[in-house]
Amino acid sequence: MNNEPAQHLDRTFAALSDPTRRAMVERLAQGPATVSELAAPLPMSLAGAMLHLKVLEESGLVTSRKVGRVRTCRLDPQRLSLAEQWVAGRRALWERRLDRLGAFLDASKPDGEA
């Protein structure tokens, strides 16, 4: 699990750091969508939206397939999960530490209980 290139996490978190791209992810969480559908609600040109889409694809969060002249995009839950796990892992580590510390304090100074 620790063997993954950090670059992937770089790109994934960077992709998620932009509100436009998070909006795209939110939309895609409801189901697949075409490039135009993703771009339509955004306050920018189609070309601008495509740049964001490119970032999402390069991060691996989104995959797409083109049939005819329409490109359909969908979310990749695995990549989402990867980012989630990194965060969860560090948080678990830190909270476990806090728990141990609490237990130690409780044990060495039982007056402080309750």
Partner DNA sequence: ACAACACTTAAGTGATGACTTGACAATTAA
Partner DNA sequence: TTAATTGTCAAGTCATCACTTAAGTGTTGT
Give contact residues for a copy of itself (rule: CB under 8 A). 6, 9-14, 16-19, 22, 25-26, 28-31, 75, 77, 80-81, 83-84, 86-88, 90-91, 93-95, 97-98
Q: Tell me the C-alpha distance between 55 and 11, whole Å.
A: 8
Near DNA in 12-41, by CB under 7 A: 14, 17-18, 20, 34-37
CB nearer to a copy of itself: give 31 or 114. 31
Which residue among 4, 29, 70, 81 contacts DNA (CB under 7 A)?
70
Tokens of 81: 């999960």
Q: Tell me the C-alpha distance between 48 and 60, whole Å.
A: 19
Q: How far is the CB of 110 from DNA (least distance, A)?
A: 32
Q: How far is the CB of 65 from DNA (least distance, A)?
A: 10
Task: Look up residue 81 and give its amino acid.
Answer: S
Which residue among 9, 23, 50, 82 contacts DNA (CB under 7 A)?
50
**Residue 69: phi, psi to the nearest 5?**
-105, 5
Q: 106 CB contacts (<8 Å, ≥6 apart)?
A: 112, 113
CB nearer to a copy of itself: give 3 or 30. 30
Q: Give residue for tokens 């995959």.
A: 63
